A and B are shown apart, each in its own frame.
Chain A
C-alpha cells in the first residue's frame, strides 16, 4: 500500500518537477511570461511522452538571439507540434513508443521539409534502432537541397541493402562530394545511390585551354 502510494505520488509530482526544472533552466534567459508559456508547452509534451529538451533548447536559442517573446513562444510551439506529428507518424510506421532521440530526429526531418508520410515510411523501413539516424540523414539531405522524394528513397534503398547507421550517416558526405563538383542536389543524390561520385551532365564546361594560357 505504501509503495503504491509512493508510486502515485511520484507520478503526480513528475510534471510539477519537470515544470520547475524547465522554469529553472529558462530563468535568466527569457522574461517570466515567456518562461511560463514554455513551461506550459513542456507540460503538454510530458503528457504525451514527448521530449522536453528540444523545447527548452529552442527557447534558450530564441533568448540568446534576442528574439521577441511572442516569436520565441511561437517557435517553441512549432517544435512541439513537429514532435507530436513526428510521434504520430512514427507510430503509423510501426514505432509505437519511440525514444526522445527518435522523436527529435522525426521533428527535424519534418522541419527540413519531409512529410508525415515520409517519416512513417522511413520508420517502417528502418525499424527503431536505425530510425533516428535515418530520419536525421533524410532531413539533412533535404537541407542540402535534395528533393524530399529522392532523399527518402536514397535512405530507404540504403536501408534495404542492409546499410548500417554508419552507412546511412555517410550519405550526406557522398552527396556533398558530388555537389562540390557541380552536380545538382538531385543528380548528386542519384549518383550517390549508385555508389559513385560523378559530375552532373549539367556541370558547366570549363573554358578551353586557350583561356588558361597555352602550353609553349
Chain B
C-alpha cells in the first residue's frame, strides 16, 4: 500500500500549504491535492414531495399514539446561565454547539456563572396547577409554579439553579408528585422517584 507522507496528509488536512512542503514532497503534494479537486460539493436538493410523505406518517403515528402523549414532558432545557450571583452575568457569551453550519446555538452561557437558568417544561393538559420542587428550593411545592403556555397544555418555569447536582419532581394540582418522565431518576427513599439534574458552568445535563 502506498502511503502518503505525513506532511502531505497535513497538506490535505489544510494544516500546511504546498509552499510549506519540502521541495521533494511537492510533486506528491500536488498529486494528493488532485484528489480533493475531484470532490463534488454541489448541493443536493430533495423533492418537496418528501415533506408530504413524512407528514402523512406523522399524522398516522399521532392518531395511534393516543395516551402516550398525555404525560410526556419535555426535559429541562438549558436557556442561559447568568447569575444571580455573578455581576458579570450581564455579558452573555454564546456557546455554540454547531450541529449544522447555520444551526441555532444549543445554549447560551454567561462567563463563569455560579448559577444557570434552567427552563422546566411539563405537558399536563388536565392540570389546574403545576410547580417544580427539589433540592434547589428546599422541596417547597409553592416556591416555583409553572405558568401555562397558551392553551397547549404545556407548563413552563425558568429557574436559576446553582452549579451542582440537583434532584427534583413536579407537583400537579398541589398533591401529585411526579418525576420527570423524560429524565433519569433515583429512589427518593419514600417509595417514589426523584429526577436528577446536573448543572455545570457549561450548561445543563440531564444528569
Contact = CB atoms under 8 A, between A and B. Distances in A.
A143 B192 contact: no
Contacts of B141: 64
A202 to B, nearest CB: 20
Interface string A66-83: 010001101100110000
Query: Which interface class (under 10, 10 to 19, 20 to 34, 35 or more) fits B?
Result: 20 to 34
Nearest to A56: B138
Interface string B99-142: 00000000000000000000000000000000001010011110
15 contacts: A57-B138, A60-B138, A60-B139, A62-B190, A64-B133, A105-B165, A108-B165, A143-B185, A144-B184, A144-B207, A170-B205, A172-B205, A173-B205, A173-B207, A213-B53
A212 B202 contact: no
Interface string A124-167: 00000000000011011101110000000000000000000010
Contacts of B198: 136, 140, 169, 172
Main secondary structure of the interface of A (DSSP, over half): helix
B186 interface: yes
- A-B pairs, 8 with minimum CB distance: A75-B189, A64-B139, A140-B207, A172-B207, A213-B53, A61-B139, A143-B184, A67-B190
A122 to B, nearest CB: 16
Interface string A48-67: 00000000011011111101
B80 interface: no
Contact of B187 (A60, A63, A71, A111): A111
B28 interface: no
B49 A143 contact: no
Query: Which interface class (under 10, 10 to 19, 20 to 34, 35 or more) fits A?
Result: 35 or more
Contacts of B185: 143
Interface in B174-201: 177, 184-192, 196, 198, 200
Contacts of A112: 186
A78 B189 contact: yes
A215 interface: yes
A216 interface: yes
Nearest to B53: A213
Nearest to A209: B53
Contacts of A111: 186-187, 189
A56 to B, nearest CB: 9
Contacts of B2: none
A213 B165 contact: no
B103 to A, nearest CB: 16
Contacts of B200: 166, 169
